[in-house]
Chain A
Amino acid sequence: MAYDRGTGKLPGSGRPGTPRGTAAGRRAGVRAALAVLPLLFFGAFFAYPVAAIVTRGLHQGGRWRFGRFADVLGDAGIRHVLWFTCWQAAASTALTLLVALPGAYAFARLDFPGRRLLRAIVTVPFVLPTVVAGSAFLALLGRGGFTDSLFGLRLDTSAWAILIAHVFFNYAVVVRTVGGVWAQLDPAQEEAARMLGAGRFAAWRRVTLPAIAPSVAAAALMVFLFTFTSFGTIQILGGPRYSTLEVEIYRQTAEVFDLPTAAVLTLLQFAAVLAILALHAWTVRRRESALRLVDPALTAHRPRGAAERTLLGGVLAVIGVLIVLPLGVLVTRSFDTPGGYGLAFYRALGSTDGGTFSVAPWQTLWNSLRFAAVATVIALTVGGLAATVLVRRAGRLVRGFDALLMLPLGTSAVTIGFGFLIALDRAPLDLRDSWLLVPLAQALVGAPFVVRVMLPVLRAVDERLREAAAVLGASPWRVWREVELPLVSRAVAIAAGFAFAVSLGEFGATVFIARPDDPTLPVAVARLLGRAGPLNYGQAMALSTVLMVVCAASLLLLEALRTNGSGEL
């Protein structure tokens, strides 16, 4: 079938009696229309606020102060921060892929009891406030911890602690992003290659690897962005000797109040993120291929043979030590009251006597759920539309749009929070006093996940299916509903799960948006931890445990919603 992939124009795809040119024009028009909402969203809630705060820093006294670039870049301390930021992110990403890819395989292809629950649990560190998770992590792997008393292995205040904690936090990104695609690959393709004489490894390299490569690259990119902009982990586990660009931006904005330096650092971080994205685009452009997506339930099997059992055992051991045990420490602490083990801290969550809040702490859970639900809907809408636009192969402009959508992940929370405050204060965008500000900020971080998770799957949908439907006279809406949606419903569920989890756990931007007093759960945990006394600390642990359980439960629920339909795929 000869058609031009560049524009997606298919000869004869217009309706009978409609000139071809008009049909192509209409499709371009539809694409443009779909792009409007995401563009408006990112323009109003990202580009504009960030531009406002950066301009405030660099445009002072009526003229631009670009000389600040030379000052900041000339500072040896800043250059050291840049170097450390880059290498720790690269090392963290490599280590995370190394540790989590076997996990992605095990969750995708091996059927074992408790698989779903475990997949939900490994996502929990991703949403926990860093200071809580970091503390639990230290108790296990730091001084006097489990590994210290057993093997004399201490992982506090060293670069290793940072790297391993980054694996702990980002394990789920790889397992869910790569595993999502892996689970839907048809194993028959690899088997066919082997029957045709390819060795086990050659078959994997030629068939499976190209198919999962885009999602591995997407996962690596997200892990890199998260570790590149790491804040809490560096502070808790690295100590004051280690600093990332993100920590430096926070310090310059919130403590030193040197907005020009903060603006320069923000632009540096942008440049770095864009460079990463360019590299990413360059590596994956040629690897995308149409995949045969099948029902994940059909691809998973009970572990067979010694190799698979060893692999599963190894994956479970890593998860056990690295993720489940630290989370267990946290749960234990929430019951460990001064009067012995009990529910005192949980009971205190219902009272307003503690003084930290004008509402009972448990009500912050309701705030969080409410905000996260709204943020998820916004992120799915914006990210879904954006992914739909991006999937059609198109020119440079659209690829630029792709990069734009990723920028919020590489932007400091304090920059976004302060930007909101000074930019969204006049009509028609007078949102400073609106509750909507929090879900908007959260959706900004959730939407890139939606795009990243959906794009590889959308691109994998065989173009011919769409075209066949169109040839048969289906409207674009109908093609989307009847052809694409069923194929991507799993990706939608995963994307929704990510967006929801990110929103539940989002702390940075939320804390910098001064707002009418309805703290989210992570903000409440931070407030409780900021006070002395066993009751405050215990409540923080109890509240974190609640967050953990709610997160795991919502992810399980999302997966259950998804499986109802996919059995008939």
Chain B
Amino acid sequence: MRTTPRRAVGALVLATAAATVLAACGSDSDKGKDAAGTGSSGGGSKTVTLVSHDSFAASKSVLAQFTKETGYTVKVLRGGDAGAAVNQAILTKDHPRGDVFFGVDNTLLSRALDNGLFTRYTAKDLAQVPADVQLDAAKHRVTPIDSGDVCVNYDRAYFTSHHLAPPQTFADLVKPAYKNLLVTENVSTSSPGLAFLLGSAATYGDAGWQGYWKQLKSNGVEVVDSWEQAYNDRFSGSSAGKQAKGDRPLVVSYASSPPAEVVGVTPEPARSPVGVSTGTCFRQIEFAGLLHGAKNTAGGQALIDFMLSRTFQQDMPLQMYVDPVRQDAVEPPVFVKYGAKIAHPTTLAPGKIAAERDSWVGAWNSIVLK
């Protein structure tokens, strides 16, 4: 009876002590970052804070180069997927968490702009960016940074072994030859799912897209809730899908999925196991903007300029699997060799998307899920 409480107390004390030490480590490293970031040069902060979604990524060396060029250190805050991150930014717009927001795409752009999230800034190298991706060219509240195409991907092996040509267009997908082959995502919970719906709406128009989806449904389209499930579990062409015994050779994914299937595979295969149906693509453009009420305006402007620089633009493809918007950016060899170039993706104006999204999602739900 004597030793028991002491041991129990001892264990508790030990755990508390350990946690305190761990906590101290944490706060120390934070302090370290602050000390490095907050210089004393004339009161202006030397830290610039980038708020983004969970998919944001950049090489350490590239961010270090930004610090070397400008003296600013980047602190990145990420929270959830693109939709959640935009909504968080809107919720905190009176007291923003950072200086620059990156990751609002054309499907959400109107929501962000209508809420007055950003202030004007004309980025330095904007001339290098094609006009068709500059969706706020009149006011320059946001700057295009990257683009990516949501397209149907196909399992090359399946179509070779079945002596069947892979589908290339929206119209192909409803043909009997491709019955029960496609898996797509729920438009309410998945951004590629929504993009695919928008692509069909852009192709068939306000009057025609619902009829198209009725045909897709009777042609056996399968719907799952997320891209992860569609691509990693159901799709037979991805390496994860093979392990998971996926049996759908067509999936709504990205034009950058084929190079991604090759990265890290040795020896490098002659071509990617995944192909792209180039006539089924919808273009997503991601923007960065200077947050209204940013504390470090100068740093934020420098960061936006840097995100349009060739250094950052050429780093993006292998970091975020997106295409640079800069015309003179050179893509990595793996993208050139295995990637698909989409000549004529579909797209819709952000205002149109904002106006129609809810009613389209509702209509889609009752056509496809009910």
Footprint of B on A, CB under 8 Å? Answer: 56, 131, 135, 138-139, 143-145, 235-236, 239-241, 247, 251, 253-257, 333, 336, 338-339, 344, 348, 352, 354-358, 369-370, 373-374, 376-377, 380, 414, 417-418, 421-422, 425-426, 432-436, 481-482, 485-486, 489, 492, 496, 511-517, 519, 523, 526-527, 529-538, 561-562, 564-566, 568-569
5 closest A-B pairs by beta carbon, nearest first, are A514-B79, A535-B264, A534-B239, A533-B260, A532-B260
A421 shortest CB reach to chain B, Å: 6
With beta carbons under 8 angstroms apart, the residue of A355, A489, A512 that contacts B80 is A512
Q: Which residues of B are found within 8 Å of A139, using beta-carbon distances?
A: 243-245
A358, A369, A514, A532: the one contacting B254 at CB < 8 Å is: A532
A532/B58 contact (C-beta < 8 A), A421-B91, A486-B4 known = no
CB contact between A135 and one of B233, B264, B321 (< 8 Å): that residue:
B233
Give the docked Cα–Cα distance between A531 and B231 (Å): 9
A534 with B261, Cβ < 8 A, contacts A241-B369, A414-B84 known: yes
Out of B7, B19, B264, B319, name the residue touching A376 (CB < 8 Å).
B19
**Among listed B26-34, B128-136, B196-204, interface-contacting one:** B26-34
A56-B91, A374-B23, A561-B11 known; A256+B265 contact, CB < 8 A: no
Interface hit among B159-167, B169-177, B222-230, B286-294: B222-230
Contacts A138-B244, A240-B223, A568-B4 given; does A373 touch B228 at CB 8 Å: no
Chain A minimum-CB-distance residue to B33: A516
What are 7 residue pairs bridging A and B, where the CB atoms are less than 8 Å apart in the complex? A235-B226, A236-B229, A377-B20, A511-B79, A516-B33, A534-B261, A538-B239
A534: contacting residue among B54, B87, B247, B265, CB under 8 A: B265
Interface centre among B1, B11, B85, B97 (most CB of A within 10 A): B11
Is the beta-carbon distance between B1 and A257 smaller than 8 angstroms? no
- Other CB < 8 Å A-B pairs besides A339-B266, A370-B23, 7 of them? A135-B232, A355-B320, A374-B19, A421-B88, A515-B77, A516-B30, A516-B77
Closest-by-CB residue of B relative to A561 is B11
B341: shortest Cβ distance to chain A, in Å? 18
State how many angstroms separate the Cβ of B35 from the closest Cβ of chain A.
14
- Complex Cα distance, B319 from A468, in Å, reads 67
* Contacting pair A535 B263 (CB below 8 A): yes
B57 at the interface (CB under 8 A from A): yes
B302 interface contact, C-beta 8 A: no
B85 CB contacts on chain A under 8 angstroms: 514
Q: Which residue of B lies closest to A413 (CB)?
A: B80
A370-B26, A377-B16, A564-B7 known; A514 vs B224 contact (CB < 8 Å) = no
Contact of B90 among A143, A251, A257 (CB under 8 A): A257
Known contacts: A352-B60, A425-B92, A532-B254. The answer to whether A566 contacts B54 by CB under 8 A is no
A240 CB contact (under 8 Å) in B30, B77, B224, B320: B224
Task: Determine the chain B residues whose CB is within 8 A of the CB of A253 once the complex forms.
Answer: 84, 87
Q: Give the one of B55, B77, B80, B88 with max A CB within 10 A.
A: B80
* Complex interface bits, B149-186 against A, C-beta within 8 A gives 1, otherwise 0: 00000000000000000000000000000000000001
Q: Are A358 and B91 in contact (CB under 8 A)?
A: no
Q: Is residue B18 within 8 Å, beta carbon to beta carbon, of the partner chain? A: yes
Q: In chain B between 85 and 106, which residues have their CB closer than 8 angstroms to a CB of chain A?
A: 85, 87-88, 90-92, 95, 97
B residues in contact with A486, CB < 8 Å: 1, 4-5, 8
| B27 A435 Cβ-Cβ under 8 A | yes
Known: A516-B77, A532-B321. A254 touches B245 (CB 8 A): no
Residues of A within 8 A of B79 (CB): 417, 421, 511-515
Nearest chain B residue, comparing its CB with the CB of A250: B189
Write out the residue numbers on chain B whose beta carbons fall within 8 Å of the beta carbon of A348: 264
**Contact in complex: A373, B77 (CB < 8 Å):** no
Once the chains bind, are A514 and B78 in contact (CB under 8 Å)? Answer: yes
Task: Name the B residues within 8 Å of A482 (CB-CB).
Answer: 1, 5
Q: Are A492 and B8 in contact (CB under 8 A)?
A: yes
Interface flags, B41-70, vs A, CB<8A=1, else 0 = 000000000010011011110010000000
In the complex, the answer to whether A254 meets B244 with C-beta atoms within 8 Å is no
CB within 8 Å for A425 and B95 given contacts A489-B8, A568-B3? yes
Q: Is the CB of B8 within 8 A of A485?
A: yes
Of residues 215 through 261 on chain B, the ones whose CB sits less than 8 Å from some CB of chain A are 223-229, 231-233, 238-240, 243-245, 247, 253-254, 256-257, 260-261
Contacts A486-B4, A513-B79 given: A496-B15 contact, CB under 8 Å?
A: yes
Set A380, A533, A538: member contacting B261, Cβ < 8 A: A533
CB atoms of B83 and A254 under 8 A apart: yes
CB distance from A533 to the nearest CB of B (A): 4
Query: For A339, what are the chain B residues with a Cβ–Cβ distance below 8 Å?
Result: 265-266
Identify the closest chain A residue to B98 (Cβ): A514
Name which of A255, A344, A535 has the most chain B CB atoms within 10 A of its CB: A255
| Contact in complex: B223, A418 (CB < 8 Å) | no
Measured in the bound complex, the distance between the Cα atoms of B187 and A240 in whole Å is: 10
Is there contact, CB below 8 Å, between B245 and A338?
no
Q: How far is the CB of B275 from chain A (nearest CB, A)?
A: 13
Min Cβ gap B359→A in Å is 12
| B245→A143 contact, CB < 8 A | yes
Contacts of A517 in B (CB 8 A): 75-78
Docked Cα-Cα span, A132 to B41, in Å, equals: 48
Write the chain A residue with the least CB distance to B49.
A433
Q: Within the assembled complex, what's the spacing in Å between the Cα atoms of A145 and B27? A: 47
Minimum CB–CB distance from A27 to chain B (whole Å) comes to 21
Taking the nearest CB of chain B, how far is it from the CB of A233, in angstroms? 11
Q: Considering the chains assembled together, what is the distance between the CA atoms of A131 and B189 in angstroms?
A: 15
Given contacts A254-B81, A486-B8, A514-B77, A526 and B54 within 8 Å (CB-CB): yes
List of A residues within 8 angstroms of B58 by Cβ: 358
- Establish whether residues B77 and A355, one from each chain, have CB atoms under 8 Å apart when the complex forms: no
The chain B residue sitting closest to A144, CB to CB, is: B245
Determine if B363 is an interface residue (Cβ-Cβ < 8 Å).
no
Question: Which residues of B have CB within 8 Å of A496?
Answer: 15
Q: Given A235-B226, A239-B223, A257-B111, are A435 and B26 neighbors across the interface (CB < 8 Å)?
A: yes
User: What is the CA–CA distance of A348 and B266 in the complex, to the nearest angstrom?
Assistant: 13
CB of A145 within 8 A of CB of B245, answer: yes
Contacts of B91 in A (CB 8 A): 56, 418, 421-422
Let me know if A376 and B260 touch, CB within 8 A: no
Question: Which residues does chain B contribute within 8 Å of A144, judged by CB atoms?
Answer: 245, 247
- The answer to whether B12 has its CB under 8 Å from any CB of chain A is yes
Q: Which residues of A contact B311 (CB under 8 A)?
A: none
Tell me, rounded to whole Å, the shortest Cβ–Cβ distance linking B2 to chain A. Answer: 8
Contact B227 A530 (CB under 8 A): yes
Residues of A within 8 A of B240 (CB): 534, 537
Cβ–Cβ contact B95 & A255, under 8 A? no
Provide the bound-state CA to CA distance between A533 and B235, in Å: 12
Q: Which residue of B lies closest to A339 (CB)?
A: B266
Tell me the smallest distance from the CB of A468 to a CB of chain B, in Å.
14
B25 contacts the other chain (CB 8 A): yes
Q: Chain A nearest CB: distance from B344 CB in Å?
A: 23
CA of A270 to CA of B188, assembled, Å: 24
Say whether B26 contacts A239, CB under 8 Å. no
Kindly state whether residue B36 has any CB partner on chain A within 8 Å. no
Counting CB contacts under 8 A, is B137 at the interface? no
Chain B residues whose CB sits within 8 angstroms of the CB of A251 once the complex forms: 188-189
What's the least CB distance linking B31 to chain A, in Å? 11
Which residues of chain A are within 8 angstroms of B12 by Cβ–Cβ distance?
Answer: 380, 492
Judge whether B63 and A358 touch: CB under 8 Å.
yes
Tell whether A566 pairs with B83 under 8 Å between CB atoms, given A377-B15, A532-B238: no
Judged by a CB distance under 8 angstroms, whether B358 is at the interface is: yes
Q: Closest approach, in angstroms, between the C-beta of A252 and any C-beta of chain B?
A: 10
